[in-house]
Amino acid sequence: MEGSYLPILMLCAMLAFLLCGGGWVFAWKHLRRRIDERFDVLSEHLERHAAECPIRKEHLLASCLPADPERKGNGSFHRSFRASYPGFLPTLRERVPGITPAEETLCMLIKMNLSNREIADKMSISIGSLHTTRYRLKQKMPPEAAKGMDEWVRAIE
């Protein structure tokens, strides 16, 4: 008789585990959707006021960046950046053939006038890895760009 309660107890424990896990996944997706919606609203607001205060726009946009802009499913950062600088990525790709998505993200963060520490934090990499990425990117750039890479990237419209 005691053995008959064990399967029922295990089944109840598994059911409780599945319900809690499913609730957590639902809550996480709901929270992520709300964050994306708020980020999109903020991006639209920034677009409307871009002409009034372009420097503040860059800092506000930078402060809203997720910890890892390369994270899969993070289209809102790229959408916001493309809305703020519509010609930047096509021009960059034309001038730097063979640029990788990580190098594009690095250039986007440079364009936003972030420091090396901020860029490393946003890309979730060490300063050493950032220097390596910068070095490899400089190798792909035209000679005049490699000397003053940050200024060259910021000058791209």
Supply 53's token pair. 């205060």
pLDDT score recorded for residue 73: 47
Higher pLDDT, 130 or 63: 130
The tens digit of pLDDT for each residue in 11-58 reads 888 877 777 767 777 777 777 888 878 877 777 777 776 666 555 555
Question: Which pLDDT score, from 0 to 100, does residue 151 have?
Answer: 92
Count Cβ atoms below 10 Å from residue 48 Cβ, excluding itself: 8
DSSP H stretches of helix in the chain: 2-48, 54-63, 75-84, 88-95, 101-111, 116-123, 127-140, 143-147, 149-155
Give the amino acid at 29: K
End-to-end C-alpha distance for the chain, whole angstroms: 78
The pLDDT value recorded for residue 54 is 55
Averaged pLDDT score across all residues of the chain? 79
* Tens of pLDDT, residues 66-75: 555 445 445 6
Query: Alpha-carbon distance 91 to 89, whole Å?
Result: 5
Break the chain into its structural domains and give their ranges. Answer: 2-155
Look at residue 70 and give its three-state secondary structure.
coil
pLDDT at position 114, please?
87
Distance CA 156, CA 153 (A): 5
